[in-house]
Amino acid sequence: MRHKIVLMIGGTETLEYFSYQLKKGFEALGYKTFLFDQTMEEESAEKLYTFADPYDTILVTFNFDGIHYETSLFGADGISIWNKRKIPCVNIVVDHPFYYPELYEIIPDIFYNIYIDRYHGQYLKKFYPHIKCGPFLPLGGTSIYPDGNFPDINIRPYDIIFTGNYTPPEEFDQYIMRNGDEYADFYNEIIDDLISSPDQPDDTVIERYILKEIPDADKGQIRKTIPNMIFIDTYVRFYFRGEVVKALIDNGIKVHCVGKGWNRLCCRHPENLTYTSDVLSQGCLEALSQSKLSLNVMPWFKDGAHDRIFNSMLNGAVCLTDHSKYLDEILTPNKNVVFYDLKQLEMLPFIVHSLLSDKEHLKQIQQEAFKYASENHTWHQRARMLHEGLLKFI
């Protein structure tokens, strides 16, 4: 068993925050850790070469950070420290794998891909069967009140909050129209299919339409074609974010959004929407601790979870979320979570009114959710899952 773990910071702020949380979990398990700061690449690389012993070190990273772009980690011979010192690279991909087709073609010698949605795992095993995949690792949550002593429901200033950015779907029209009307019709047909049946994984729907147009397309062709349509994933993601928030604010329910772009949401009653931009991960947790309800719209993880769910539970905001196969397996409706249906958004205002009118029930869900998430879904638990499921064997 190896005893040292390298984690990456200094890139995407959210991923840095996850790395800091995993660091605590790994250290609690007895690992020595090193944080490679991508904003101080040369200095960090010098320290890394001292820390990273061959056959005793593992890189645990998110979205390929540290694997391909940091020139200081490659020698004059073009060989990376990971390959030269036989260091396994454990890559947790927090997006769909189809966002990274070029990177999957140039992986390190010892490489493990961790997926956060079981459909993502199926995609990888189908199109990249040579890559070691797993275990499945849902995103984890963080509490700023680990003892459960968070603000009482009755004194929280926000009724309902959403943490996440927004981009108007029409921003993606440039990609839909880039190849002319025939392609635009093809893309819009896929988008309409996903919107009308939102329980489908988008890669399987895209593949189905490719095969409808090109019946003899092989796996290699499909693998190369799907990433050219990733704008469909972002389109439907932001479409539903907007529709879910509008279903509330246009029916008289005030919603506070924490994230960029919400000033661009077209709605009938903008007076019911407030927003705060440029908030980092810690600020999102603090905002959750000030809200009675936390709205979640899954980013097309149809067999996984989002950290927004567990962050809500761990900071005392009752989570109101749409479904996924995984969430339906692990959560208990009206006990530790409240579900709504993307196909029945007209019911969402009634669900919210019902919850806000029964504070005692809210408190019961709040307490059950905190207990459940604290025991099962923190980043400390994710560190242990990685250790038990993979790290202790490599």
- The 10s digit of each residue's pLDDT in 341-355 is 999 999 999 999 999
Residue 193: what residue type?
A: D
Secondary-structure class of domain 153-169+237-377 per CATH = alpha beta
The answer to whether residue 127 scores a pLDDT higher than 90 is yes
The answer to whether residue 364 scores a pLDDT higher than 90 is yes
The answer to whether residue 329 scores a pLDDT higher than 90 is yes
User: Domain segments of the chain: what residues?
Assistant: 4-138+382-393, 153-169+237-377, 178-233
pLDDT (0 to 100) of residue 223 = 98
| Overall pTM > 0.75 | yes
pLDDT in tens, 14-32: 999 999 999 999 999 999 9
pLDDT (0 to 100) of residue 255 = 98
The answer to whether residue 69 scores a pLDDT higher than 90 is no
Query: Residues near 37 by Cβ (< 8 Å), separated by ≥ 6?
Result: 9, 10, 43, 44
What percentage of the chain exceeds 90 in pLDDT?
Answer: 99
pLDDT (0 to 100) of residue 175 = 97
The answer to whether residue 271 scores a pLDDT higher than 90 is yes
* Intrachain domains 4-138+382-393 and 153-169+237-377 with the same fold: yes
pLDDT in tens, 209-256: 999 999 999 999 999 999 999 999 999 999 999 999 999 999 999 999
pLDDT (0 to 100) of residue 144 = 98
| Mean pLDDT on 83-98 | 98
CATH code for residues 4-138+382-393: 3.40.50
pLDDT (0 to 100) of residue 68 = 85
pLDDT (0 to 100) of residue 164 = 98
The answer to whether residue 206 scores a pLDDT higher than 90 is yes
- Mean pLDDT score of the chain: 97
